[in-house]
Amino acid sequence: MSDILVVNSGSSSLKYQLIEMTTERTLASGLIERIGEAGGGRAVHTLPWDEVPSVDRTDAPSTTERELPVRDHVAAFGVMLEAFEAHGPSLDSHRPVAVGHRVVHGGKRFFEPTVVTELVKINIADLAELAPLHNPANLQGIEAAQQVFPDVPHVVVFDTAFHQTLPPAAYTYAIDADVAEQYRVRRYGFHGTSHKYVSEQAAQLVGRPLAELKQLVLHLGNGASITAIDGGRSVETSMGMTPLEGLVMGTRSGDIDPAVLVHLHRRAGYDFDDLDTLLNKRSGLLGLAGTNDVRDVLAGRAGGDDAATLAFDVYVHRLKAYVGAYYAQLGGVDVISFTAGVGENAAPVRAAALAGLERLGIAIDASRNEAQSHEARVISTDASEVVVLVVHTNEELEIARQTLEVVRG
């Protein structure tokens, strides 16, 4: 047996997935949300169809849901254990050999998956300065999981790690160098686990060695980023010191003239918390169209809604600008992959982002692009020099793979 439990702990949520590593099959996954909230929490546990006892098989997959109070992260792990006990698979026969944890910010210290020690935890806590919403919550999850699984190694996999190969020209902000050094102000990049996984899948799909390929990965979820990958190494990415920089996202503005902040402070009395909330939570598609869900934006646009149409246009305009910039940085591209909720599902976004780029060797096939499928697939024309793909991202599997690699040595 070589099962890995993957944990993604947020401030009020815990996501988990148990993966059997010989076949890389998910045995169960779950989400516990509203942890510590007065109104009570919610727990969902899902089994893939072939893990459901045959007498219970009705539809695939099988999901059970509970509403219950969940005091804190330790209690959330208790709820998870109860779900495994009640609905399977049994953790006695599927005892994880290690627990892999997603951690958002690894700063410049962590460039590879790392076994959790007291020192590692101190470093993750120290990096909370750069990711105040994420790292403390990740750490809470690690400490709770260590209480529940004290006898197995715990491994941390950082969202930033894949981007530690960025050259100085790409990660340095052009500000006073001493200030930047003192306060660790530089670009780190995020979604690294997804960019790495998808670029490896893409290389397999086109049947060429990763080392030979120049790739763009467009991770378009609620958060969104694009990465230029040369020979398997991240060389440029759109998120910066925090996940706010770069593309237009569900609720984040992405790139903006920094002087806008000064202006809003001086003219409208916004303080730093107001600005943080404005740019991270009230901007992007939500700010422009009143919804952060691309499905609603597409529906609004199809129905002739002006705000939804503008939101769509701004979103793909930025995306195309980045595709062009990174194409230039790489000096050409072999493969472009779309991934995550928007990238995998929103055909109009893919079509508009790459429209009119035939002179760059990029041509989308309309019917391939519009076909709905969960399979990884080519959506460019046979004549397109650049192969354009839709690839399902699987950050949990990537974390599990890296965790196993570390514990196997």
C-beta of 184 vs 295, nearer to ligand ADP = 295
Does 56 participate in catalysis according to the annotation?
no
d(CA 10, CA 103): 10
Measured distance between the N- and C-terminal CA atoms of the chain, rounded to whole angstroms:
17
Residue 28 near residue 51, CB atoms below 8 Å = yes
Closest CA to 65 of 98, 14, 30, 25: 30
C-beta of 12 vs 345, nearer to ligand ADP = 345
408 sits in the region (left: phi over 0; alpha: psi -120 to 50; else beta) called alpha
Q: Tell me whether residue 103 is annotated as binding.
A: no
Q: Tell me whether residue 107 is annotated as binding.
A: no
Residue 261 near residue 275, CB atoms below 8 Å = yes
How far apart are CB 63 and ligand ADP at their closest, in Å?
17
Query: What are the angstrom distances between the C-alpha of 28 and each of 20, 64, 407?
Result: 10, 11, 22
d(CA 140, CA 230): 35
How far apart are CB 329 and ligand ADP at their closest, in Å?
25
d(CA 370, CA 55): 38
- 294 φ, ψ to 5°? -60, -30
How far apart are CB 115 and ligand ADP at their closest, in Å?
26
How far apart are CB 135 and ligand ADP at their closest, in Å?
18
Report the residue closest to ligand ADP, judged by CB: 341
d(CA 107, CA 164): 9
Closest CA to 137 of 148, 127, 147, 149: 127
Could you count the other beta carbons within 10 Å of the beta carbon of residue 338?
28
**Cα dihedral angle (399, 402, 403, 406), rounded to 10 degrees?**
-160
Q: Tell me whether residue 395 is annotated as binding.
A: yes
Q: Tell me whether residue 181 is annotated as binding.
A: no
C-beta of 244 vs 340, nearer to ligand ADP = 340
C-beta of 239 vs 294, nearer to ligand ADP = 294
C-beta of 9 vs 114, nearer to ligand ADP = 9
How far apart are CB 335 and ligand ADP at their closest, in Å?
20
Contacts of 375 (CB under 8 A, 6+ apart): none
Among the options 56, 72, 159, 334, which is catalytic?
159
C-beta of 342 vs 352, nearer to ligand ADP = 342
Q: Tell me whether residue 370 is annotated as binding.
A: no
C-beta of 190 vs 322, nearer to ligand ADP = 190
d(CA 335, CA 333): 6
Residue 317 near residue 310, CB atoms below 8 Å = no
Report the interface residues with ligand ADP, using CB under 6 A.
221-223, 250, 292-295, 340-342, 345-346
How far apart are CB 224 and ligand ADP at their closest, in Å?
8
Q: Tell me whether residue 223 is annotated as binding.
A: yes
Do the strands 3-9 and 96-103 form a parallel or antiparallel pair, or are they unpaired?
A: parallel
**3-state class (DSSP) for residue 370:** helix
How far apart are CB 119 and ligand ADP at their closest, in Å?
30
Q: Tell me whether residue 345 is annotated as binding.
A: yes
Q: Tell me whether residue 15 is annotated as binding.
A: yes
Q: Tell me whether residue 361 is annotated as binding.
A: no
**3-state class (DSSP) for residue 380:** strand
Q: Which residues are tagged catalytic?
A: 159
Residues annotated within the binding site for ATP are 15, 219-223, 293-295, 341-345
Residues annotated within the binding site are 8, 15, 102, 219-223, 293-295, 341-345, 395
Residues annotated within the binding site for substrate are 102
